[in-house]
Structure 1
Amino acid sequence: MADHTINQRVSNLRTLRPRKHELEFFIADEVELSSFRDEMASMEHPFFALKGGDTKIRKYTNGNVTVIVKPTADGLATVFDKDVWIYSISKLQEAMNNHQEISRTVCFTPYDFFVTTNRTISGRTYQELEKALDRLKGTTIKTNIVYSEEKQESIGFGLIDSWRIIEDKKGKLDVGMVEITLPDWLYQALHKKKMLKISQDYFRIRKAIDRRLYEIARKHCGNQGEFTISLEKLHLKTGSTALLKMFRHNIKQLAKANDLPDYSIRYDVKADMVIFNNRNLTPEQEDKKQQREKGKREIYKLKNSLASKRGGK
């Protein structure tokens, strides 16, 4: 009877619609390689693939600094694998807020992870979690730290240091525990408060590309009113492997649906630009936004006027 009741409760939980959670979610903004006196903007570079099985080595160059992201044989860790990161960081942040001691090793039940990140609960989901942990452990990042013209160092690191799953079968239910150890550079970012709070609706975003676009909006638009970026540059920032014309089509479709949490998105056809706007501005922030936009318009008019006068001469 007890087993039947438990099984019935689990069955009911599987059919529930997405629900809200008290846990606040955070994502790494800038991560500091403290021993190497350098910082990397983790949301600037697409460390995570938008689809499974992506085995392409990614290389990003900014000045004399290069970042190389290497996959495992099964591919790069995906945007959905990143949920493990977000969940773990958020659990640690919650503990810190409650003045509890924390460490780089985080323990949680698969069930709590699945429910919190809006996943269905099935045998396949458990298998996918193990594959995700493999990809997170196997995906590596290599970068060079430049001290001067004469001296630089190279450093390589993973997205997580280690993982294990402890299984304990009781009747027909699998009661397990996941244990992962975060890399020190990510753990230090948490302590140095280099985190950005994200919407609780993040895990309700179904498409990987839309999740990545939300991250970019959160990073660059943040609490400001607006962020504008060329479509071509946005394409690079997302890490999308789609052709530019297909990416443009996807942006147009998202702009029509306009259902990203916190931010609206518009596509300017003439300029081939994408504009993100914060939906949650306070009246004071909205007023400041209007003042900034007015200032930009006045500067634009002044530049045109000067250009016209020079042309007249």
Structure 2
Amino acid sequence: MARSPAPARPASGSAAVPHRDLFTLDSPLHGEIRGERSLMAFPFFALSKNAWMKPLTYDHATVSIEVRPSASGVATIYDKEIVLYIASLMAAKLEAGEHVEQDFIFTAHDLFSVTGSNHSARSYNRLSEALERLQGTQIKTNIEAGGEGEEGFFSWLSEAKLHYSRTKSGERRLKAVKVRLCDWLFRAILLDRHVLDYAAAYFQLGPIERRIYEVARSTCEEELDLDLATFRLQIGYQNPLSNFRAALKQIVATDGIPDYHLELVEGDAGGAAEEGAPRRGRRAPQSRVVITPRPQPGESALSTTRAILESTESGESIDADPADADSPTPAD
């Protein structure tokens, strides 16, 4: 992933000062994009590019989430890029043994370079809108962070400011972005350390594909097998189940989820059973979603070598290739 040249940093130790100078930057990001596991596993963000004005809810098993919109809507999966970038800055600092605070100061240029956004004026306008939604969206959840729970609502960012200067012609020039990360997420990263890296191709995915990748990355070790209705709930898809099935069919056809293979096992083709419509007679089987990790390069050869070694040690014979059945066996 391309990085912009690193700006000059002040002497080490300045990050430990409680009130840092505004332009003691935490950017550029060194390392990969990473995210907190709970934010990957559960639907905290709207799957939309446009303003989503309806509340989001998730209540399944032992986890409950309620997300309320601000006047500008619920924070979207694209606004989440900023949260991931901040989490990555924090994780990198912790990994380097540096002191971390809840305030982060970075350049929009580095954010755009990391997430693959262009550096147009429209991107800067979208950044301002995204920060507003992240600060205005209200979240309530029973998921604990850092061994503590919270009653009531919080916002992803308790503070978000764009600092700029003016040129001689009076044009505004953005100098830095300053944000304050919420207590809940700060504790989760600092104390729980349940942080996972993201595939570089994540930012090229559509909204549903991004959530499928996140759910797979955070929950799938060998295989994830869920009925379609439960999977829709986990993804956070708000439209009817029939629409979700149609969207999944297209995603399955392209097979473009990084590191994971997605399969839709059809049950009731009409979808009436999953939608809750009354039916007579025996209930048709539900459609299911199966996700499996893709084999990594060299994994197959490694497995074969391991099997040969284990069989040799145990004295078992290895089946020969059928094409070699008539080949002479070398003498001992």
Contact 2:164 2:172 in 1 (8 A): no
Partner of 2:81: 83
Partner of 1:294: none
Which has the larger displacement, 152-161 or 241-250?
Answer: 152-161
Partner of 1:250: 247
Amino acid at match of 1:226: E
Report the Cα offset of residue 23 of structure 1: 2.4
The alpha-carbon distance between structure 1 residues 163 and 249, as it changes in their structure 2 partners (threshold 3 A), is same
Partner of 1:272: 287
Report the Cα offset of residue 65 of structure 1: 6.5
Report the Cα offset of residue 107 of structure 1: 0.9
Partner of 2:105: 107
The alpha-carbon distance between structure 1 residues 284 and 253, as it changes in their structure 2 partners (threshold 3 A), is same
Contact 2:41 2:219 in 1 (8 A): no
Report the Cα offset of residue 54 of structure 1: 1.2
Partner of 2:46: 49
Q: How does 1:93-242 map to 2 (within 5 A)?
A: 93-143=91-141, 154-170=151-167, 174-192=173-191, 193-205=193-205, 207-221=206-220, 224-242=221-239
Contact 1:145 1:155 in 2 (8 A): no
Measured in 2, the distance between the counterparts of 1:251 and 1:115 equals 30
SS of the aligned residue for 1:201 comes to: helix
Amino acid at match of 1:179: K
Unaligned 5+ segments in structure 1 are: 1-20, 31-41, 147-151, 288-313
Match of 2:36 among 4, 8, 28: 28
**TM-score, scaled to structure 1:** 0.72
Measured in 2, the distance between the counterparts of 1:209 and 1:249 equals 12
Contact 2:42 2:215 in 1 (8 A): no
SS of the aligned residue for 2:164 comes to: strand
Report the Cα offset of residue 285 of structure 1: 9.8
For 1:83-108, what per-residue CA distance to the aligned partner results, in whole angstroms no more than 9, with x for missing partners? 00100111111122222222111111
Report the Cα offset of residue 257 of structure 1: 0.5
SS of the aligned residue for 1:155 comes to: coil
Amino acid at match of 2:261: S
Measured in 2, the distance between the counterparts of 1:56 and 1:145 equals 22
Report the Cα offset of residue 57 of structure 1: 1.5
SS of the aligned residue for 1:154 comes to: coil
Contact 2:30 2:92 in 1 (8 A): no
Q: Which structure: larger Rg?
A: 2
For 1:115-160, what per-residue CA distance to the aligned partner results, in whole angstroms no more than 9, with x for missing partners? 11011111111011011001001111124699xxxxx983221111
The alpha-carbon distance between structure 1 residues 285 and 218, as it changes in their structure 2 partners (threshold 3 A), is farther
Unaligned 5+ segments in structure 2 are: 1-28, 268-285, 305-332
Identity %: 29
Amino acid at match of 1:165: L
Report the Cα offset of residue 259 of structure 1: 0.9
* Aligned residue pair count: 249
Contact 1:225 1:285 in 2 (8 A): no
Which has the larger displacement, 100-109 or 127-136?
Answer: 100-109
For 1:8-61, what per-residue CA distance to the aligned partner results, in whole angstroms no more than 9, with x for missing partners? xxxxxxxxxxxxx9621111114xxxxxxxxxxx33431100112211112333
**Considering only aligned residues, what root-mean-square deviation do their CA atoms show, in Å?**
2.7
Amino acid at match of 1:233: T
**TM-score, scaled to structure 2:** 0.68
Measured in 2, the distance between the counterparts of 1:153 and 1:257 equals 41
Measured in 2, the distance between the counterparts of 1:230 and 1:285 equals 33
Report the Cα offset of residue 175 of structure 1: 4.2
For 1:246-295, what per-residue CA distance to the aligned partner results, in whole angstroms no more than 9, with x for missing partners? 111111111110111111111112351111111145459979xxxxxxxx
Measured in 2, the distance between the counterparts of 1:158 and 1:174 equals 28
The alpha-carbon distance between structure 1 residues 175 and 61, as it changes in their structure 2 partners (threshold 3 A), is closer
